[in-house]
Amino acid sequence: MSHIPRIRADRSHLPLVAAATGLTPARRPVWFMRQAGRSLPEYRAIRAEHGMLESCFDAAMVCEITLQPVRRHDVDAAILFSDIVVPLKAAGIDLDIVAGTGPVIAAPVRSESAVRAIPRLEPESVGAIGRAVELILGELGEHTALIGFAGAPFTLASYLIEGGPSRNYERTKAMMHGSPELWNDLMGRLADITIAFLRVQLDAGVDAIQLFDSWAGMLSVADYQRFVAPHSTRVLAEVAEYGVPRIHFGVGTGELLASMAHAGADVIGVDWRVPLDEAARRVGPGKAVQGNLDPTLLFAGDAVVDREVRRVVADGDRAIAAGATGHIFNLGHGVLPGTDPDVLTRVVERIHSL
């Protein structure tokens, strides 16, 4: 690859970067998956006027929506407002993001000809996202990191093959096991798209990236290792040269934590099912952990939230004692749309006070 990453300023003063790289952060970093979105009235006001995909391809709107939760909550990171299917759309795949459902693919990918027709991602087609990153970096405070992200090949493949969200992933697993060569061809193409999308964000200056393999927890360890890990490993390896922390996350991945860690990220995201200290033992030493407050408990009242925040912080400390290089506080999955944003603001205050 003739790709030359741009020389980056040292970002280790950012609490998120410090926690991800084994340094001592000035405070315990916290951000929330899906912090930008329907929990915020200011987000709903924008979306009342503009479609989801329209918003994702407008640099000024991406910048505004990305900054909304940072202004409110004093989180230590902004996450780029986008979606895992944005690079697929930009590459020319006909899809939509349907409110209350998620991504819906016009022509699901289930044949050799459909796999062969998956286009490459031309970086210019996501130029608005690169411009949005530059706008955000111009406005973000000095101590707030900007996280870029992409969907991992498996999670993208599951949407393309099933045509939308799925309960059992039967068509995905049928292709994986029944046509392994076709599966690998599809996963290779999606890995290329993911790498290209991450590079656009990294070239524009994001401070960290998160690779979302949200639905990998549906797989056995054996299937994950054989059919998924090689492709996620390649994605993570091909962006390593930027030297920014790489976070890898999925839901229900308790049994996969060691295999996911092996794919090469610097930080492993953990859902609420496994305590962080146990997660750190499964992940192995030398990596940071991120997580893992159960997002549904944000509805349980202040006393419960306070107790759970303190428990997760204590588990995070035990994770570090067990060999993790750091703890980034987060939820175990995304903020649910009905969450009271003031509860999130208080969670951030509480974590920073501990």
Q: Which of 38, 72, 131, 273 is catalytic?
A: 38
340 is catalytic: no
Q: How far is the CB of 38 from ligand CP3 (least distance, A)?
A: 5
| Beta-strand pair 208-212/77-79 | unpaired
Position 41 contacts ligand CP3 (CB under 6 A): no
Q: Which residue's CB is nearer to ligand CP3, number 83 or number 203? A: 83
Residue 56 near residue 83, CB atoms below 8 Å: yes
Options 15-23, 80-88, 223-231, 298-306: segment touching ligand CP3 (CB under 6 A) = 80-88
For residues 171 and 220, give the distance between their C-alpha atoms in angstroms, rounded to a whole number.
16
Q: Which of 74, 83, 96, 203 is catalytic?
A: 83
In single-letter form, the type of residue at position 79 comes to: I
Position 292 contacts ligand CP3 (CB under 6 A): no
Position 83 contacts ligand CP3 (CB under 6 A): yes
Position 81 contacts ligand CP3 (CB under 6 A): yes
Q: Which of 20, 62, 79, 156 binds ligand CP3 (CB under 6 A)?
A: 79
Q: Which residue's CB is nearer to ligand CP3, number 43 or number 281? A: 43
35: nearest Cα among 61, 63, 73? 73
38 is catalytic: yes
- Tokens found for residue 174: 């049928």
- Tokens found for residue 168: 């059992």
Position 158 contacts ligand CP3 (CB under 6 A): no
For residues 118 and 156, give the distance between their C-alpha atoms in angstroms, rounded to a whole number.
12
204: nearest Cα among 62, 92, 328? 62
Residue 126 near residue 197, CB atoms below 8 Å: yes
Position 154 contacts ligand CP3 (CB under 6 A): no
Q: Which residue's CB is nearer to ligand CP3, number 38 or number 171? A: 38
346 is catalytic: no
198: nearest Cα among 233, 172, 165, 236? 236
Q: Which residue's CB is nearer to ligand CP3, number 86 or number 280? A: 86
Q: Which of 334, 347, 348, 351 binds ligand CP3 (CB under 6 A)?
A: 334
Q: How far is the CB of 49 from ligand CP3 (least distance, A)?
A: 12
247: nearest Cα among 265, 224, 274? 265
Position 68 contacts ligand CP3 (CB under 6 A): no
Contacts of 153 (CB under 8 A, 6+ apart): 187, 190, 191, 194, 228, 231, 232, 235
In single-letter form, the type of residue at position 298 comes to: L
Q: How far is the CB of 267 from ligand CP3 (least distance, A)?
A: 15
For residues 185 and 164, give the distance between their C-alpha atoms in angstroms, rounded to a whole number.
20
For residues 63 and 70, give the distance between their C-alpha atoms in angstroms, rounded to a whole number.
11
Residue 164 near residue 105, CB atoms below 8 Å: yes
Which x/- pattern, by CB under 6 A, does the window 86-125 give for ligand CP3? Answer: -----------x-xxxxx----------------------
Position 268 contacts ligand CP3 (CB under 6 A): no
Q: Which residue's CB is nearer to ligand CP3, number 144 or number 325? A: 144
Contacts of 312 (CB under 8 A, 6+ apart): 276, 291, 292, 293, 329
Q: Which of 11, 28, 47, 110 is catalytic?
A: 47
Q: Which residue's CB is nearer to ligand CP3, number 100 or number 338? A: 100
306 is catalytic: no
Q: How far is the CB of 65 from ligand CP3 (least distance, A)?
A: 8
Residue 333 near residue 295, CB atoms below 8 Å: yes
Length of the chain (residues): 354
Number of residues engaging ligand CP3 in binding (CB under 6 A): 22
Residues lying near ligand CP3 in the complex (CB under 6 A): 33-38, 47, 52, 79, 81, 83-84, 97, 99-103, 149, 212, 214, 334
Q: Write out the catalytic residue numbers.
A: 34, 38, 47, 83, 159
